[in-house]
Amino acid sequence: MPQLFETTSLGGMTLENRFVRSATWEGMAAEDGSCTAALVDITAELARGEIGLIISSHTFVSPEGRSSIGQLAGYDERFFDGLRQMVRAAHCHDSKIVLQLGHAGVRSPTLLTKQSAVGPSCQATAPGESARAMTLEEIDGLIRAFGDAAVRGKDAGFDGVQIHLAHGYLLSQFLSPYFNKRTDDYGGSVENRARIVLRILDQVRNSVGEGFPVLVKLNAEDFIDNGLTVEEMLQVSAMLEAAGIDGIELSGGTTDPAGDEHPVREGTPTTEAEEVYYRDHARQYKERIGVPLILVGGIRSYTVAEELIDSGLTDYVALCRPLIREPGLVARWKSGDTRPSECGSCAACLVPIRAGKGMYCVAARSA
Ligand SMILES: Cc1cc2nc3c(=O)[nH]c(=O)nc-3n(C[C@H](O)[C@H](O)[C@H](O)COP(=O)(O)O)c2cc1C
Ligand code: SF4
């Protein structure tokens, strides 16, 4: 049996294979952030497609941290009845499911939240608008909000939680000198910038207890001037390791407050060699960090996924857009049809999501 399809244990969670559906905002939650039947159906389809682990889209842990329409809410118990259905859909087909917890920070649109955006520091956002720096009391409140959301997720049957530290959202903003200009205990050195993350991890761990997997998604680097560097990512990973994190997913790139994206790579990979966005970051991670690695970004071919696992470059292979294109991709590969994903990484699927029409593969529909 290929190592890709081995059963493994991640933080005590038994996974049927080494494929992970990376968190994907589908834009299909109800107006208030409740889970919908459409989201349950998507989860069931992914689980039928035999993904070992499904990571939910990012749920906002407090109302001012919402980033977008159609986003799942996790800040109140009333949202968890719907999320229980999602968990059942995953478990019916032997997939595990982890709840991603996040906060958009300075990227929370005031129009949507009806309150001013907050972040590590004051920051101009849209023309004429700015986010304000969080007070120490607000930081304490946020830490409790992550812990509370994690407990609700555990009670709803999720197999674990993932704290979103990537992509220029609030905790990524704290980690990044580009956003974080604080001069108190939460700014300056990398230890100070990581303080809020470590306090959240501690709160979540104390809230959910031992034996419940707690993962993070972290930027391999920010790809923005004065952003988080590779060396700092490694230092943060070492701090997370010392604090007992169960798994780290490496991603990358940042969206700045003006909405400009700073991805690792523009355009679409045309060769297998171009597929893995963070290959070199993963190599450096594996040299220094012992926590199981989930690698996401640009992986499109079975042969590449196999090589990543067999060479030990990563422990898990995560996919996002290929599973929008073809939710049954992993089952197809398992059946022996190992042709690559047809996803061309064009990112056009974000267009209908942002327009409030929900997620679908635009390229497939227009083919
Ligand atoms: C439509 C869409 C929605 C996404 N939503 C999330 C999200 O909710 N949380 C997150 O951490 N990343 C999110 N991402 C980023 C992906 O999880 C992934 O890191 C990125 O797309 C690279 O992987 P890929 O090349 O396999 O698509 C999203 C990406 C896309 C295209
Ligand atoms: S729209 Fe483009 S990026 Fe999105 S799933 Fe389809 S081919 Fe992939």
pLDDT tens-place string over residues 179-196:
999 999 999 999 999 999
Q: What is the pLDDT of residue 267?
A: 58
Average confidence (pLDDT) over 47-66:
98
273-301: pLDDT as tens digits: 889 999 999 999 999 999 999 999 999 99
Question: Which string of b and e fits 319-350 if b means at least 16 CB within 10 Å?
Answer: bbbbbbbbbbbbbbbbeeeeebbebbbeeebb
50: which residues sit within 8 A by CB, 6+ positions away? 16, 17, 19, 93, 94, 95, 328, 330, 331, 334
> Is 25 a pocket residue for ligand 1 (Cβ < 6 Å)?
yes
pTM for the full predicted model: 0.97
- Give the per-residue pLDDT at 126: 77
Neighbours of 119 (CB within 10 A): 27
Taking only the tens place, the pLDDT of each residue in 233-263 is 999 999 999 999 999 999 998 888 777 777 6
Give the model's pLDDT for residue 52: 98
Q: How confident is the model at residue 124 (pLDDT cuts 50, 70, 90)?
A: confident
Ligand 2 atom closest to Cα of residue 324? 5
pLDDT band at 122 (very low <50, low <70, confident <90, very high): very high
Q: Report CA(364)–ligand 2 centroid distance (Å).
A: 8
pLDDT above 90: percentage of residues in the chain: 89
Mean pLDDT of all residues in the chain?
A: 95
What ligand 2 atom has the least distance to the C-alpha of 364? 6
Fold of 3-365: TIM Barrel (3.20.20)
**For position 243, what pLDDT does the model report?**
98
347 CB within 6 A, ligand 2: yes
> Is 264 a residue whose pLDDT tops 70?
no
